[in-house]
Amino acid sequence: MSDTLLLIEDEALLSTELTRHFRREGFEVVTARTLAEARRLLVQDAVQPLVVVSDMSLPDGNALDLLEATRSEANSGEWLFLTGYGGVADSVRALRLGAYDFLEKPCALDRLDLVVAGAVRSARAQRQLRERADAENRRYTPAAFVGRSPPAQSVRDLLGKLSRVPLSTLLLTGETGTGKGLAARILHYSGTRREGPLVEVNCAALPHDLLESELFGHEPGAFTGAKARRRGLMEQAHGGTIFLDEIGELSLDLQAKLLTVIEDRRLRRIGGSSQVEIDVQVIVASNRNLAERADSGAFRSDLYHRITVFTLELPTLRARKEDLDDLVPLFIAEFNTKAGKSVRVVPELVWSALRSHAWPGNVRELRNVIERCVLLSDTNTLAAQWLQLQPGRTGTHEGAPSIENNGALHLPLDGSVTLDDMEKTIVAEALARTGHNVTAAARLLGTSRETLRYRVNKYGLKSED
């Protein structure tokens, strides 16, 4: 399919020459001789040209007025202006309105082709970004939180209401695997900031020493290895949303700086002397009880009260097991597509096992189980042998990692165990084997004493001595 080029030119001979030339270059050329005709093509006829090549002065006005009027109404691609007597004011206004370039007549065809080729590349890139954003907007609506149970319906209703109001901060709570990341994406792509970026940060996955630089950025020379300026993730989310998952893992000093940024809407990069203004919606999540941590001093109470403008708690899967009827077919269809399978039948034995399981890992665990079953199925039936569900698990302690008698670490890989659970178990075992000698335990784990001491304090593993 040919790319469309809209040519707005009132000189008949030049219009004919350029039309013939651009058609030889492979464009589908649409022409207009007045602003009114061009406006009708762009707005009423919904023509979506990849590039607009326009004379500046037309019989019924200035083409810059048309650009300004149609920028928000139509997907009109990149604009390139040609003029025989344009001034500095017109060229400045053209670039301010987002025009790709501004050329004076007469313009050699090879020069014009070079500029048009650049405009085509830019327009294609912008169109791909818009299409991707539109796909995300369609995918992440409140309906993406699947389920017919009252808890699921309540969450959908709240997500719909929250996405229509400009919240500055919001806290998502709930056990691991309940869909806090999904809720954050729904709030962004269905909300008032959908046109802006969504930046997702897992605070537990980033090294403590790098978190400040990652969040707030740094200037050249701020520390060893900082050779260039880096915009932090908070700054990259300007105009959109930043999602801080596992916010309870932030140290108290970073919590204080985050509070200042949220309150003042300004940040200072590490090593910087000036402040950068940001406009960002902050969504945070935690599977810990931040209210209790705030009471104990492990989390700043002022930050806690600031991020809880609204709190949305996501229900566990065991509290809405009737939603299995919707979730299981959804995940089967997803992995059928990904793996080229054709699983369609779910035996009653499998349904019984799914409904009797406690689902400590919630929807994430269910998704992992269905993925395994679909990938390993040789027929169109979901085989019960690949469920591998452990009966009687409650979802809090029985699914935790453990050290076997032979020294092996047992890790359930069903979505019920977090990275913190694994790390805490390993550190606790190392301390037990060394009689709570931090230096010896650090040597055993191949890490530094300071790093291990940070984790000892983080998980409250100090010996009773």
For range 22-29, the mean pLDDT: 92
**Contact (CB, 8 A) for 462 and 441:** no
For range 371-390, the mean pLDDT: 89
One-character DSSP codes across 183-245: HHHHHHHTSTTTTS-EEEEETTTS-HHHHHHHHH-B-TTSSTT--S-B--HHHHTTTSEEEEE
* CA-based nearest residue to 343, from 376, 304, 321: 376
Q: What is the pTM of this model?
A: 0.64
* CA-based nearest residue to 238, from 204, 213, 211, 266: 266
pLDDT the model gives residue 402: 58
For range 107-127, the mean pLDDT: 89
**How many whole angstroms separate alpha carbon 116 and alpha carbon 105?**
15
**How many whole angstroms separate alpha carbon 315 and alpha carbon 145?**
11
Burial 6-23 (b: 16+ CB within 10 A, else e): bbbbbeeeebeebbeebe
If one compares 232 and 454, the residue with the highest pLDDT of the two is 232
Evaluate if residue 114 carries a pLDDT over 60.
yes
pLDDT the model gives residue 86: 60
pLDDT the model gives residue 413: 56
- Residue in the block written with tokens 């994406």: 185
* CA-based nearest residue to 151, from 22, 320, 326: 320
**How many whole angstroms separate alpha carbon 288 and alpha carbon 175?**
8
Question: For the structural domain made of 318-386, what CATH number should be given?
Answer: 1.10.8.60
For range 159-182, the mean pLDDT: 93
Of 37-41, 162-166, 235-239, 418-422, the range with the lowest mean pLDDT is 418-422
For range 280-293, the mean pLDDT: 92
Where does the pLDDT of residue 411 fall: very low under 50, low under 70, confident under 90, or very high at 90 and above?
low
Where does the pLDDT of residue 465 fall: very low under 50, low under 70, confident under 90, or very high at 90 and above?
very low
Cα distance from N-terminal residue to C-terminal residue, the chain: 77
pLDDT the model gives residue 417: 62
**How many whole angstroms separate alpha carbon 97 and alpha carbon 75?**
14
Where does the pLDDT of residue 131 fall: very low under 50, low under 70, confident under 90, or very high at 90 and above?
confident
pLDDT digits (tens, 9 = 90+) for 220-252: 888 877 778 888 999 999 999 999 999 998 989
Contacts of 313 (CB under 8 A, 6+ apart): 172, 173, 174
Of 18-22, 221-225, 254-258, 269-273, the range with the lowest mean pLDDT is 221-225
Q: Quickly count: other Cβ atoms within 10 Å of residue 363's Cβ.
A: 24
| Angle at CA of residue 279, ends 277 and 285, nearest 5° | 120
Q: What is the DSSP letter of 381?
A: B
| Angle at CA of residue 287, ends 328 and 186, nearest 5° | 55
For range 375-381, the mean pLDDT: 91
Give CATH 1.10.10 domain extents, the chain: 418-458
pLDDT the model gives residue 53: 93
Where does the pLDDT of residue 392 fall: very low under 50, low under 70, confident under 90, or very high at 90 and above?
very low
pLDDT the model gives residue 171: 96
Evaluate if residue 396 carries a pLDDT over 60.
no
Give CATH 3.40.50.2300 domain extents, the chain: 4-136
Half-sphere exposure in the Cβ direction for 69 (13 Å, CA): 13
Burial 377-399 (b: 16+ CB within 10 A, else e): beeeebebebbebeeebebeeeb
CATH topology classification for 418-458: Arc Repressor Mutant, subunit A (1.10.10)
**Contact (CB, 8 A) for 449 and 438:** yes
For residue 425 the two structure tokens come to 């178990």
If one compares 129 and 407, the residue with the highest pLDDT of the two is 129
Where does the pLDDT of residue 1 fall: very low under 50, low under 70, confident under 90, or very high at 90 and above?
very low
pLDDT digits (tens, 9 = 90+) for 351-371: 999 999 999 999 999 999 999
For range 378-394, the mean pLDDT: 78
CATH topology classification for 150-313: Rossmann fold (3.40.50)
pLDDT the model gives residue 400: 57
For range 107-119, the mean pLDDT: 90
pLDDT digits (tens, 9 = 90+) for 438-449: 888 888 888 888
Give CATH 1.10.8.60 domain extents, the chain: 318-386
CA distances from 192 to 138, 155, 168, 245 (A): 14, 19, 11, 21
Average pLDDT, the chain: 86
If one compares 350 and 209, the residue with the highest pLDDT of the two is 350
pLDDT the model gives residue 241: 95
Where does the pLDDT of residue 107 fall: very low under 50, low under 70, confident under 90, or very high at 90 and above?
confident
**How many whole angstroms separate alpha carbon 298 and alpha carbon 292?**
9
In 303-379, the DSSP E strands lie at 311-313
For range 114-138, the mean pLDDT: 81
| Angle at CA of residue 253, ends 252 and 257, nearest 5° | 115
Half-sphere exposure in the Cβ direction for 56 (13 Å, CA): 19
Question: For the structural domain made of 4-136, what CATH number should be given?
Answer: 3.40.50.2300
What is the bridge-based pairing of β-strands 57-58 and 61-62?
A: antiparallel
Where does the pLDDT of residue 85 fall: very low under 50, low under 70, confident under 90, or very high at 90 and above?
low
pLDDT digits (tens, 9 = 90+) for 60-72: 888 888 888 887 6
Evaluate if residue 94 carries a pLDDT over 60.
yes
